[in-house]
Structure 1
Amino acid sequence: MTGSAPDFGDPLDAGWFARDAVTLARDLVGAGFFVDGVGGRIVETEAYRRDDAASHSFRGETPRNRAMFGPVGHAYLYRSYGIHFCLNVVCDVAEPGSAVLIRAIEPLEGLGRMAERRGLAAPRLLCAGPGRLAQALGLDLGFDGLSLREAPFEVLRPGGPVDLVIGPRIGITKAAEQPWRFGLKGSRFLSRGFPAPTKPRNLKETV
């Protein structure tokens, strides 16, 4: 069972989800995420804060984003472009309306069920992107607002230190410069690569 997998620790407690979105987005990379035993390791996330122009909550609560203003540690599901569902983790008790988008997962358990739902078998493409992973895990609007600390969900602590890559968020037009996308360094299951780090300028070269 996933709960005893050596790569992961204990289920996340409420305190993990109570923190600000940027901190949680960093710390969720490497965590285990499963729905009815199907899932794997989170390898890519994005943070969205209440005061963030790119966030669904920026203009206040609506029927669509109501889960973002609810209890932390719950799921916020929305439909993107009328086609794909996207999974977010509600967080930050100090700033209601904050959430972390789960962008990609490394498939580890239930690959057969994922492949059936996705209509393909290539592991790298099963959960590489928010729409793909929601389809692979069988998520839709019926999961919106549900607690991630209760069945059918299981979210487990990373089993050890995680090497991160960091870059700007993608697929948005507002506040796109914020470096609030986090990925597992070296993972081949990312939705998209990260830009190469900028080398510090040598001040001697400018003299």
Structure 2
Amino acid sequence: MRLTREFYRREGRQVARELLGKILVRNYKGSVLRARIVETEAYLGPEDRASHAWKNKRTERTETMYLQGGHLYIYLIYGMYNCLNVVASVEGIPHAVLIRGVEPLEGEEVMRGLRNCKKKYELTNGPGKLCMALGIERRDNGVDLATSPDIWLEDDGYVPGEVVCARRVGIEYAGDYREMLWRYYIEGNPWVSRR
């Protein structure tokens, strides 16, 4: 069942944790791609120094973060990799959840073709990798997950086992916020990007 708007209209850490086990669905050029979310990170602007919306910073790039929960926030890192975030909370409160790792469930052949990856667990075990494998690009920024026919999230009733809370990755600049345990992953899942 597709997740409703109300699922997303909550605090970012709660959404990040509860996205574990949900299914990311992508209609890509006639193929249906499905992958289970196994790793997330929460970013809680404006107080979170690691957030693009720290101090309520509003730019053309971050404007999507201020939409109501349930929209995609896609941005480019290192000038070459897209990152997929799910906007959380209510309109005007810039919370976002970075999807760091997914486990392919359907359409893995298509994913491998898009990413040209031979190693099984390296196909989607990182934010840039999963965007490449699922054909997610910056033009998908702002997509409404509650209504889009191309990208959405589903709940199939799966309940993750042990969930690990850990430090987020690559935010050494964020002062005390680099210590926050706002990364969540399913213990033992081989598609997690880092332990």
Question: Normalising by structure 1, what TM-score?
Answer: 0.85
Do structure 1's residue 64 and structure 2's residue 61 form an aligned pair? yes
C-alpha distance after superposition, 1:7-35 (max 9, x if no partner) = xxx11111110000000000000000011
Which runs of 4 or more aligned residues in structure 1 lie more than 3 Å from their structure 2 counterparts after TM superposition?
A: none
* Equivalence for 2:44: 49
* Equivalence for 1:109: 106
Deviates more, 1:89-98 or 1:113-122: 89-98
Residue 120 of structure 1, CA deviation: 1.5
For structure 2, which runs of at least 5 residues remain unmatched after alignment? none
Of the candidates 88, 101, 125, which is equivalent to residue 91 of structure 1? 88
Partner amino acid, structure 1, of 2:188? G
**CA RMSD, Structure 1 to Structure 2 (Å):** 1.3
Count of paired positions = 184
Residue 121 of structure 1, CA deviation: 3.1
In 2, distance between residues paired with 1:113 and 1:121?
13
1:159-170 map, 5 Å? 159-163=157-161, 164-170=163-169
Partner amino acid, structure 1, of 2:35? G
In 2, distance between residues paired with 1:64 and 1:189?
29
Question: Normalising by structure 2, what TM-score?
Answer: 0.90
For structure 1, which runs of at least 5 residues remain unmatched after alignment? 1-9, 194-207
Larger radius of gyration: 1
1:1-207 map, 5 Å? 10-36=1-27, 37-50=32-45, 51-59=47-55, 60-93=57-90, 96-149=93-146, 150-163=148-161, 164-173=163-172, 174=174, 175-193=177-195
In 2, distance between residues paired with 1:142 and 1:94?
21
Partner amino acid, structure 1, of 2:110? R
In 2, distance between residues paired with 1:46 and 1:133?
15
* Equivalence for 1:6: none
Deviates more, 1:120-129 or 1:78-87: 120-129
In 2, distance between residues paired with 1:167 and 1:115?
29
In 2, distance between residues paired with 1:26 and 1:72?
15
Residue 113 of structure 1, CA deviation: 1.1
Partner amino acid, structure 2, of 1:153? I
